[in-house]
Chains A and B, each alone.
Chain A
């Protein structure tokens, strides 16, 4: 059977080398990312009325907007107020619940936000960071 001539077939081939590095081996341990939130509880004066509470919530809302903008500047996606879980509580007290707009690094970002809110809220305040699955076990809590 005739075959196509291959002028290279009988020539000594150059010694080709294909260098590669020994592999770097490691292990990634995956952990589930749990939805988390920040809850701020600000104690109001005993005679505080709804108007006072509203004013306090408005001021806190401004703080949240500043914190969210700072988070975006730092590479995050910011925060939003969970209106359904926020409001006036018996005591009286104001509760504000923040959730991150993205869960990457959310715990650390919420911890930083908690410290800033505790310093800026004005009044007796406790700020805690917890998972939605176990809100009563704080991952982080500021001093009362």
Chain B
């Protein structure tokens, strides 16, 4: 986007779902997600059904939004990446954020651990101050813990409340 301006990320929330009014405006964020508990015998990838709610402001033109999921650790390696989502911003009222709600199809954490979801716009991270985005925003963080078998919800027949 040679004549465009990249967006500033104002808010990012990972949640189970959002509620809309009749005009398609978001009126509620439901079931915010920060920690996942899996039973002791769980050995598969951990699915994360939900949406990512973003508020983006200050952009002009069309940008390509992608995300990557990194496992927090010594290597901080990328585990998942996404197809691009094109979002068009107009030049009017740049103070009014754009609300973007993105369904996270196919996101499943490889196992227990600490993960962070980073949003990128045209390849530039909206979180990393080293990439010279004016207002960095912390990445969405999710911790996946495994329950001991003898704790409520940790057995095969337990349901996490």
Contact = CB atoms under 8 A, between A and B. Distances in A.
Interface of A: 19-33, 75, 102-104
28 contacts: A22-B23, A22-B24, A22-B25, A22-B99, A23-B24, A23-B26, A23-B99, A23-B100, A24-B101, A25-B100, A25-B103, A26-B65, A26-B101, A27-B85, A29-B82, A29-B106, A30-B81, A30-B82, A30-B105, A30-B107, A30-B108, A32-B80, A33-B78, A33-B80, A102-B77, A103-B78, A104-B68, A104-B81
A31 B81 contact: yes
A20 B100 CA distance: 12
B10 to A, nearest CB: 12
A26 B18 CA distance: 13
Nearest to A75: B123
- A22, A23, A31 interface centre (most CB from chain B within 10 Å): A23
B101 A23 contact: yes
Interface string B88-115: 0000000011111111111110100000
Contacts of B102: 25-28
Interface in B23-60: 23-26, 52
B105 A24 contact: no
Residues of B in contact with A, size category: 35 or more
B135 interface: no
What are the 9 tightest A-B residue pairs by CB atom distance, in nearest-first order? A22-B24, A28-B82, A27-B103, A26-B85, A30-B106, A23-B99, A30-B80, A30-B107, A103-B78
Contact of A29 (B52, B83, B100): B83
Most buried by A among B67, B81, B96, B107: B81
Given A26-B85, A31-B106, 12 more contacts: A20-B96, A23-B101, A24-B87, A25-B103, A26-B103, A28-B66, A28-B82, A28-B85, A30-B69, A32-B79, A32-B80, A33-B68
B81 A33 contact: yes
A33 B96 CA distance: 35
A70 B158 CA distance: 54
